[in-house]
Amino acid sequence: MTNILHISASIRSGESISRGLGTTIVEGLAAKTGATITDRDLSANDIPFVDEARFEANLTPPADRTPEQAELAAIADTLIAELHAADTIVFSVPVYNFGVPAVVKAWADLVARAGTTFKYTENGPVGLLEGKKVYIAAASGGTPIGSDMDFMSSWLTFFLGFLGITDVEIVAADGIMSVDGEAKIAAAKAKAAELAA
């Protein structure tokens, strides 16, 4: 059986376009494949920012950690385990001020662990999470996804590639605050449903 990891980041709940798109993809894929679903809502604000102590704890091998370090590293260990267990990852991510929400960057800082999700080689870093499929369900009020001002999808795609995940597909409802915003939302919903069919 496969596992789908659904990572959402919008501060809006029921009204969130990115959450709605992501949920359509997740539920459709699960119905088709029988996959289990793991939900990770980053907007719950339980993802800490990395400080010096947490950084050192994350780099310390589990067997060598002090009890304090084990406690500090626990959240990163959990997030990394979720990534390893997932065959498919669906990100429901809005564009906030041209980039990812801060909690997505905090998540990335915790899961990028040398020797676990990537490794250093003579030819540079190599990702260790190959073979996973990612869907990015994106929403923005005015930033066109894929444009020069969109640092969300370009950064997230690059970061996933750094971890070895290169099979990434984007479903975007962008410019939803424009005069044809409703049409753009409808088109994105149709594409999400098609991907999950």
Question: Which residue ranges make up each domain of the chain?
Answer: 3-196
Helix (H) or strand (E) holding 30: helix 17-33
pTM (two decimals): 0.95
What pLDDT is attached to residue 135? Answer: 98
pLDDT in tens, the chain (197 residues): 599 999 999 999 888 999 999 999 999 999 999 999 999 999 998 899 999 999 999 999 999 999 999 999 999 999 999 999 999 999 999 999 999 999 999 999 999 999 999 999 999 999 999 999 999 999 999 999 999 999 999 999 999 999 999 999 999 999 888 888 899 999 999 999 998 88
If residue 40 lies in a helix (H) or strand (E), which one and from where to where?
strand 36-41
Look up the CATH superfamily of 3-196.
Flavodoxin domain (3.40.50.360)
Which distant-in-sequence residues (6+ apart) come within 8 Å of 137 by Cβ?
18, 19, 21, 22, 24, 25, 90, 91, 92, 93, 171, 188, 192
What's the pLDDT score for residue 1?
57
Give, in order, the Cα–Cα distances in Å from 126 to each of 39, 96, 112. Answer: 27, 29, 12
Pairing mode, if any, of strands 3-8 and 167-173?
Answer: unpaired
3-class SS of residue 107: helix
